[in-house]
Structure 1
Amino acid sequence: MEEKKNIEVRREEKTDSGLVGATFIKYAAYLIIFFAVLWFLINYVFPMFS
């Protein structure tokens, strides 16, 4: 007679909060740089042409 074994597999998915924080800081820095360049263009470069 053949025995049947019940195998239970558990996976714990961990989110690395340090990685999430680093990614957030990186994209926040990209946004700050983008808006700083945009602000510079609007205040200094565009008025030269008018």
Structure 2
Amino acid sequence: MEERKNIEVKREEKTDNSLVGATFIKYAAYIIIFFGLLWFLLKYVFPMFG
């Protein structure tokens, strides 16, 4: 008879703090650029048409 072994693999999900920090900085930069562009449009571009 064939003998079967039950092998249980345990893997712990670790959050890499440097990866979390880099992702936070990246999205914070996206938000700052977005609001900077929005401010520029409202301050300088839209008054040209008004």
**Smaller-chain TM-score bracket:** 0.7 to 0.9
Instruction: Flag structure 2 segments of 5+ consecutive residues without an equivalent.
Output: none
Task: Name the CA distance, whole Å, in 1 between partners of 2:9 and 2:30.
Answer: 41
RMSD value over aligned CA atoms?
1.8
Task: Name the CA distance, whole Å, in 1 between partners of 2:8 and 2:49.
Answer: 70
So what's the TM-score if we normalise by structure 1?
0.78
Instruction: Flag structure 1 segments of 5+ consecutive residues without an equivalent.
Output: none
Instruction: Kindly tell me the number of residue pairs found equivalent between the two proteins.
Output: 50
Moved over 6 A (4+): none
Task: Name the CA distance, whole Å, in 2 between partners of 1:17 and 1:33.
Answer: 24
